[in-house]
Amino acid sequence: MNLKTLRLPNFLSFLFVFYMSLVAIHVAAQSRCGTMSVLSNQMNIDPSLKIRFEGQDIQLQRIINQRKTSGNTLRATGTVTIPVVFHIVLQQPNRVSDAQVMAQLDTINRDYAGLNKQDTRIIDAFKNVFGQSGIQFCLAQRTPDNKPTTGIVRYTTSQTSFPFREGAATDILKHANTGGADAWDTDRYLNIWICDISGDVLGYATFPNIGQKSEQGVVVDFNSIPGGSSTNFNHGKTLTHELGHFFNLYHIWGDDFGACTGTDYIDDTPNQGNSTNTIRTGVVIDNCSPTAPGIMYQNFMDYTPDASLLMFTQQQVARMEASLTSLRMSLTTSDACLPVNVYKNDVGLKAINNPSQRICEPEFTPQVVLENRGKETLTNLTITARLDSAF
């Protein structure tokens, strides 16, 4: 396009289109989390969901108020430790080491316990509302059928990456028959899938009571965990953020694209126009919080680079704990972090391959599959079989 030939109205149109293109590029570059677009898509498809969700929120607010009156925070009544299983689904799943997973687990335990309270980067006005939850996480020690596990399971997939599709009826990552990995019982385990998400989304989560039961959990890109290669977003804070959604938190800016009318349903977070996408320090103001202390870009529910994400507020903690103890209550009583009793010698018959059905021949070669559940290597075994006829 030759600018000299443009008359003024056309030139203004060009500038507008050019500006909108920049906005589009900017928005695309900041799509750190896909959770809210999944939720709004589900609500567009099923408008009754929005009404149900609002009703659920009124009930939740009642529980939050009761807990506030009685002082029943989880730190007061007892920390709840949630069993976690990490499903690593990659073409080369060993690209994610156990040490990385452990570092990721440490990160969420530190963030949910609120151990950054003394960090000097948090301004005093926000230290006054700093939240420390009684939610902790442990690696599962038993599988759904009560076998020992490390809580870290690797799956080799033929998928080069998994697309983030906000409108998809089924998430192929969460099903073995589409190249992913099936969830473990979502009532007993917090399922976390680590994979290569195509595009720029680094993670997404399911809100309580939304979507299929078999898809409840959190997905994070393998480059977002500690030691990953997402520059500025590889300290594992993506999982801290996505777990916030899993426990019913919204983005701190209320997803209203700068309008100042959206809400995160939290009283002690400042109004914020839009997400923060660069490292910030000190007081930062915006169009919705134009005076100090300004916006709380240190909040885990913002998009600020990982190094600057430091806190939840007390009311966010109250909402998460109320959601956990009401909407995700079964996770609080799961025994999945208790180790399985392993004996020295413990072997069982898993299958009989031959004979596979009733036979009439006088001789046959038995074939069986054994499972060694004991600590010791199996070196010999005696199996006694008995024929039930005259042979």
| Contacts with Zn ion, residue ranges (CB under 5 A) | 33, 35
Nearer to Zn ion, 35 or 299 (CB): 35
Told to judge if 166 belongs to the known catalytic residues of this protein, a careful annotator would answer no
Nearer to Zn ion, 142 or 242 (CB): 242
Distance CA 53, CA 44 (A): 13
Nearer to Zn ion, 35 or 240 (CB): 35
Q: Give the shortest CB-77-to-Zn ion separation in angstroms.
A: 28
User: Please, are residues 190 and 82 in contact by the beta-carbon 8 Å criterion?
Assistant: yes
Sign of CA dihedral 112, 114, 119, 124: positive
- For residue 326, the number of C-alpha atoms closer than 13 Å in the C-beta half-sphere is 18
Q: Give the shortest CB-351-to-Zn ion separation in angstroms.
A: 45
Nearest-CB residue for Zn ion: 33
User: What values do phi and psi take at 294, rounded to 5?
Assistant: 75, -150
User: What values do phi and psi take at 246, rounded to 5?
Assistant: -60, -30
Q: Give the shortest CB-161-to-Zn ion separation in angstroms.
A: 20
And the tokens for 240?
Answer: 């801290």
Q: Give the shortest CB-256-to-Zn ion separation in angstroms.
A: 14
Q: Give the shortest CB-311-to-Zn ion separation in angstroms.
A: 16
Nearer to Zn ion, 67 or 241 (CB): 241
The DSSP result for 78-111, as a single string, is --EEEEEEEEEEESSGGGS-HHHHHHHHHHHHHH
Catalytic site residue from 54, 166, 242, 321: 242
- Could you tell me which of 159, 148, 246 has the C-alpha nearest to residue 205? 246
3-state helix, strand, coil in the chain (%, to 5): 30, 15, 50
Distance CA 286, CA 332 (A): 39
Nearer to Zn ion, 35 or 274 (CB): 35
- Please identify every residue annotated as catalytic: 242
